[in-house]
Amino acid sequence: MICLVLFSLFAIPNVFALDSTFSPIKDAIVVSGVPHKNWGDYYWGISSWSIYSGGDDMIEYLYYNISNIPDGQRITHAYLYFPEWFIESWLNQSHPNYYTLNEVLDDWDEGSITWNNQPSYNPTPFLNKTWDEINKNLDRCNHTIYYDEPDSWEVWMCFNTTGDWYREIPRVPNITNWSESWYFDVTDFVRDHYETDKIINMNLRTNADKWTYFIFPNKEDPYSDNMVFLRVEYEPIPPRSFESSLIGLLTVVGSVFVFLSMFSIDITDYKGFMKYLVGMIIFIVILGVALAVIVF
């Protein structure tokens, strides 16, 4: 029996890392230049900013449901992957392009969202990255600089195709080598929502001095499966750690020692009785802490 108790205290459960990949339930852009139009069925996701439009002119909305991740898991990593993308940007800007992700606070309908009725979102981004800070693999990308002074611009084209990047040739579906993708680390945001509503609702915005366009496939793209994926890695939360079990066991031993030492106390007078009473209280407190550490 003693061996069984010790085994249950010290056994370290096996923890297996798991992962799930989620496609967006809905994705859509809103466009300031046509504020009443709905673009929910448009096959491109676009986030852009242009000085010529006075600010944000296209914002991408993304919505994921991660409820099929079982309860009782620890989210270890979560990444928002862009397997295919295209950047066009002004060259001579005083600061680099910024890419931000903001938490969307309200639900929205893909078939009716517009610039005018877009949902409210937290104005403080939970992720704010410059071009140089983004995790991206440029090895498979084409880079072109166009000189048309003073409006020189550059293009990064990272699409899985040997033909024209936008339509003519169907592209290779579903990149499985995630290291080839541009990605954002959204672990903290996903972890917070896994513990509450299991809904990942966000928008993607860009910012620049003059103009920049960030383009990628939406789920409606008929030529590519490489939409914006959310990949979540997780593992079961072990019921107890080795350290807590050890502390619990030592505390139990300590409480038993205190209990046994009480038998040597002479309780024939008042002082002996008080020692016995204090010892009993200490024993009960220590034993309670020990049980709490082991159970919880």
pLDDT value at position 113? 98
Residues 112, 93: Cα–Cα separation, whole Å: 35
pLDDT value at position 20? 92
Of 93-102, 109-118, 207-216, 286-295, minimum mean pLDDT range: 286-295
pLDDT value at position 237? 84
The structure's pTM equals: 0.74
**Long-range contacts, stretch 102-106, CB < 8 angstroms, 24+ apart:** 102/126, 102/202, 102/203, 102/205, 103/189, 103/201, 103/202, 104/61, 104/63, 104/201, 104/202, 104/203, 105/201
**Per-residue model confidence as pLDDT tens digits over 98-147:** 899 999 999 999 999 999 999 999 999 999 998 888 888 787 778 888 87
pLDDT value at position 15? 56
pLDDT value at position 267? 57
pLDDT value at position 128? 94
Q: ∠ CA(240), CA(243), CA(249), 5° rounding?
A: 85
Residues 101, 53: Cα–Cα separation, whole Å: 21
Q: Residue 163 pLDDT more than 60? A: no
In the structure, what pLDDT confidence band is assigned to residue 5 with cuts at 50, 70 and 90? very low
pLDDT value at position 1? 38
Average confidence (pLDDT) over 76-90:
88
**Per-residue model confidence as pLDDT tens digits over 183-195:** 999 999 999 999 9
Q: Residue 10 pLDDT more than 50? A: no
Percent pLDDT > 70 in the chain is 64
Q: Are 235 and 62 in contact (CB under 8 A)?
A: no
Most confident of 19-33, 81-95, 174-188, 254-268: 19-33
Query: What are the angstrom distances between the C-alpha of 213 and each of 5, 75, 234?
Result: 63, 32, 33
pLDDT value at position 249? 62
Helix H, strand E, coil C: the string for the chain is: CHHHHHHHHHCCCCCCCEEEEECCCEEEEEECCCCCCCCCCCCEEEEEEEHHHCEEEEEEEEEEECCCCCCCEEEEEEEEEECCEEEEEECCCCCCCEEEEEEECCCCCCCCCCCCCCCCECCCCCEEEEHHHCECCCCCCEEEEECCCCCCEEEEEECCCCCCCCCCCCCCCCCCCHHHCEEEECHHHHHHHHCCCCEEEEEEEEECCCEEEEEEECCCCCCCCCCCEEEEEEEECCCCCHHHHHHHHHHHHHHHHHHHHHHHCCCCCHHHHHHHHHHHHHHHHHHHHHHHHHHC
**Residue that wins the pLDDT comparison between 282 and 38:** 38
**Per-residue model confidence as pLDDT tens digits over 266-287:** 556 666 666 666 766 776 776 6
pLDDT value at position 236? 92
Q: What is the average pLDDT score of the chain?
A: 78
